[in-house]
Amino acid sequence: MKKLFISIIVLGFSVIGTFAQDRVLRAPEVKEGDGPYTQLIIRGITLIDGTGAPPIGPVDIEIKGNRITKIQTVGYPGVAINPDGRPKLEAGGKELNCEGMYAMPGFVDMHGHIGGSQAPIAEYVFKLWMAHGITTVRDPSAGNGLDWVLDQKQKSAKNLITAPRIHAYTAFGMGSKEKITTAEQARAWVNENKAKGADGIKFFGASPVVMDAALRENKRLGLRSACHHAQMDVARWNVVKSAEAGLTSMEHWYGLPEAMFTNQTIQDYPLDYNYQNEQHRFENAGKLWQQAAAPYSEKWNQVMDQLLKLDFTLDPTFNIYEASRDLHKARRAEWHEEYTIPQLWTFFQPNKKAHGSYWFNWGTEQEVEWKKNYQLWMTFVNEYKNRGGRVTTGSDSGFIFQTYGFAYIRELELLRECGFHPLEIIRSATLYGAQALGVDKELGSVEVGKLADLVIIDQNPLANIQVLYGTGAVKLSDDNQVQRVGGVKYTVKDGIVYDAKKLLADVRKLVADEKAKTGFVVKQPGIE
C-alpha cells in the first residue's frame, strides 16, 4: 500500500509547502436537517447550560428562527408535567419531545483541520464533526487555502452545507512570495491577512523580531491568534514571550516546558538528533516535561501566574499525542473499520516521509516516557484551570490515529483524566471555546437571546462521557443483555435540527464507497 504524503504546516512542525487548492472536495450544497422553524419547542429536557451550573430539568426550550427565546422550568423529576405551565405551541410551530434526554450547548473544536490528502472529502470531515455535536470549529492554518476555507465558512454560515461554523486562522506567512524576516514584512503580512478576511493567525515560530511585530500588530487589529511553538524556534521564543506580545492561545504544549527551564536553556537533545526524523522529534518530545521545573515550584508558579494575568488560553489537544503513550489502543479503536476513510488509514501508517507517522521503532520505553510526560502536563493544565485559567478543547484530528469527531470526545475524556469535573469539561468544550474565539455573546451557553446551537443525547454525559461517541457506550441491561447506548441524537445548529445518527450513516456509506473503489480493507501495520 503506497503511503500518501502530505505537505502541510501542522501540529507545530513546518514542512515546506501547503495544500493545493481544492485538494479537498468542497461540501455539497444540499439542504439537510429540519428547520429553522418559526417556533421550535424542545420539551421536557434536562439542561446542562455550559456555564458551570448543575443540570436542571425538566425544562422546555423555545427557539424562534435561530435564536433561543425562552428557557422555562416546567416541573420536577419523576412527576407528571402540568401542560398549563408550559410554553404554548403557536400555529406552524414544531415540538420535539425530549423527556429523559439531556441538552448542552454546541461543542467548539478549537483545533480542527478540514482534511487534506489524508481526508480529501470535506463532507466526510464536517459530518463526523456535526454527528458528535461539534457546531463550531477553528481551522488552524487554513491548510486548504484561505479562499477555500472562507468559501466553506460563508456557506456554513448560510446553512447551504452541513458543516460547523468555521473560524479561519491563516498559517503565518502563507501566500508570501518570500520568507518574512523583518518586522516591516511581518506587519504588512498581518494587515494583508486581515484584509483577506481571516479571523486570526496560527503561528509556528519565527525570529523574535518577527514574532513580536506580527503578534503586536495582529492584536492591534483586533484579531486573535494561536501558536504551536515548534522546536526550530522555541529556544529563542517561548510561550511566555508570545503571550506578552499578544498571543491569545497556545496549542498543544510546546513552548511551555521551555519557559520553565531552570538548569538549562535548551531542550536536552541527543547528539544524533535530527529534526527531520519524525521518531527523533516525538520520542524526545516525550521527555521534555521532565526537564522543566517541578510542579508548584517557584519557576512553575511564576510562569502560570504570568499566563493567568494575561488571560491566556490553553488548548492542550491531549488526544492527538495519546498514541505516543498507548499506540495499540489508538490504532485499534473500534471506529476505524467503519468510520476511518481509506486515505486517512493509509496516512496513519509508519512512514519516514509523512508527518505524525513516526512509528519507526516505537515500544515500551517510548510509551513509558510519554506516560510520565502526560502526568506532568496534566498537572499544569488542571492547576491552571483551578486557578481560574481558560482551558479549551481541540482535537487536531486527522493525524496519529485520531479520526474526526471521535477524537474530540476522547479529548473530553482526557480532560476528565486530567482532573476536570464533568461540568468543567462541558464548560471548556462550550463557553470557554466561545470566549477564546470572541463569540461568547452569541454562542457557548444555552441562554435566552443566544444562537440556537445544541447537543441533545438520551444518556447522561456527565455520568459517562463515552456515551457521546458515535459508536456509543457498552452497557449491560437489567436482563443481562449487552447493548449500545448513547451517541448524540440531535445536533442543532442555527435552529436547524440534524439527526446525528443519519449523519453517521452518511459517513459510513461514504467510507464504504471509497473502500469499494479499490477493494480497500483496514489492516494493522505489517500484517498481510
| Residue 58: cis peptide before it, omega within 30 degrees of 0 | yes
Cα–Cα distance between 370 and 324 in angstroms, integer? 6
Amino acid present at 393: T
Helix (H), strand (E) counts: the chain? 16, 18
- β-partners of residue 314 are 250, 391
Distance from chain centroid for Cα 286: 22
Q: Are 214 and 172 in contact (CB under 8 A)?
A: yes
Bin 368: left if φ > 0, else alpha if -120 < ψ < 50, else beta.
alpha
Percent of the chain residues topping a pLDDT of 70: 96
State the pLDDT confidence band at 287, using cuts at 50, 70 and 90: very high
Q: What are phi and psi of 418, to 5 degrees?
A: -65, -25
Q: Angle between the 406-418 and 364-386 helix axes, to the nearest 10 degrees?
A: 70
> In this model, does residue 219 exceed pLDDT 50?
yes
Assigned domain for 525 exists: no
Residue 386: burial class (beta carbons within 10 Å; 0-12, 13-18, 19+)? exposed
| pLDDT one-digit tens code per residue, 182-197 | 999 999 999 999 999 9
CA separation, residue 71 to residues 41, 449, 462 (Å) = 10, 10, 21
Segment 373-393, tens digit of pLDDT: 999 999 999 999 999 999 999
- Is the residue at 292 inside a domain? yes
Q: How confident is the model at residue 1 (pLDDT cuts 50, 70, 90)?
A: very low
64 is a domain residue: no
pLDDT at 433 over 50: yes
Which band of pLDDT confidence, cut at 50, 70 and 90, is reported for residue 528? confident
Residue 6 — very low, low, confident or very high, per pLDDT cuts 50/70/90? Answer: very low
Quick: pLDDT tens for 233-275.
999 999 999 999 999 999 999 999 999 999 999 999 999 999 9
Q: Please report the pLDDT score of residue 7 as a whole number.
A: 37
| Cα–Cα separations (whole angstroms), residue 345 to 123, 209, 507, 509 | 17, 40, 15, 16
Query: What is the per-residue pLDDT for 4?
Result: 36
pLDDT at 23: 85
- Evaluate if residue 8 carries a pLDDT over 90: no
* In a domain? residue 415: yes
How far is CA 426 from each of CA 52, 277, 391, rounded to the nearest angstrom? 8, 37, 11
Q: Average pLDDT of 68-97?
A: 96
Tell me what pLDDT residue 11 has: 40
Positive or negative torsion for Cα 228, 233, 234, 238: negative
**491, 106 Cβ separation under 8 angstroms:** yes
Would you state the pLDDT for residue 158? 98
The helix or strand, by DSSP H or E, that contains position 3, with its residue range, turns out to be none
Reported pTM: 0.95
**Domains: count for the chain:** 1
Which residue range(s) make up the domain with 199?
107-437
DSSP one-letter code for 4: P
Tell me: pLDDT of 17 over 50. Answer: no
Q: Is residue 7 in a domain?
A: no
Q: Is residue 380 part of a domain?
A: yes
Would you state the cell numbers that stand for residue 103, as one nine-digit string? Answer: 441538552
Please report whether residue 134 resides in a domain.
yes
Residue 19: which pLDDT band, with cuts at 50, 70 and 90?
A: very low
Nearest in space to 24 (alpha carbons), one of 109, 126, 110 = 126
Rounded Cα distance, 514 and 505, in Å: 14
Distance from C-alpha of 473 to C-alpha of 460, rounded to nearest angstrom: 12
Cell of 83: 401542560
Within 8 A by CB and 6+ apart from 301, the residues are none
Average pLDDT over residues 290-316: 98
Cell of residue 434, nine digits = 466561545
- Per-residue model confidence (pLDDT) at position 526: 87
CATH code of the domain containing 143: 3.20.20.140
- Is residue 443 assigned to a domain? no
Question: How far apart are the C-alpha atoms of 520 and 275, rounded to whole Å?
Answer: 33
How far the first Cα of the chain sits from its last, in Å, is: 10
Q: What is the mean pLDDT of residues 121-134?
A: 98
CA atoms within 13 A on the CB side of 328: 4
Q: How confident is the model at residue 516 (pLDDT cuts 50, 70, 90)?
A: very high
Mean pLDDT of the chain: 94
CA nearest neighbour of 331 among 273, 402, 396: 402
